[in-house]
A = this chain, B = another copy of it.
């Protein structure tokens, strides 16, 4: 039995769901995350162990302004989609997305089996994300951040 600072990921509850408004939330499909970094008390970056079932997606295709992201595939097979097209990533392969680089990315599991990967991102105040394929943007007003259509109407 692991004792902190060590951790067995099986001891961390799986979370499902997404902060996206519909119709985007449902498109994520079968996706579950275990927040390993949070469970260890880390605050400067997050580390999630993600399981994507067949058809599941990591996120809408997006890029961040101030957040570096890194993913490392543990099991199964995922398709990485970027501005340049698609490539398949298998266990032991990884990808890194520098904050501010406008190359939008996400994973789709097009295989018939589950895939698991680690996703890591630093936490940066004022970070924003953009979605070239979808009618979604985040807007900040004095009450906080909200999801809007690209013409500014709230979801």
Contact-size category for A = 35 or more
Using Cβ atoms and an 8 Å threshold, which residues of chain B touch A89?
A: 2, 6
Using Cβ atoms and an 8 Å threshold, which residues of chain B touch A82?
A: 5
Is the beta-carbon distance between A95 and B45 smaller than 8 angstroms?
A: no
Is the beta-carbon distance between B7 and A96 smaller than 8 angstroms?
A: yes
Number of copies: 2
**Which residue of B6, B47, B68 is within 8 Å of A43 (Cβ)?**
B68
CA distance A49 to B42 in the complex (A): 20
Q: Smallest CB-CB separation from A122: which chain B residue? A: B44
**Which residue of B6, B42, B43, B70 is within 8 Å of A40 (Cβ)?**
B70
Is the beta-carbon distance between B96 and A5 smaller than 8 angstroms?
A: yes
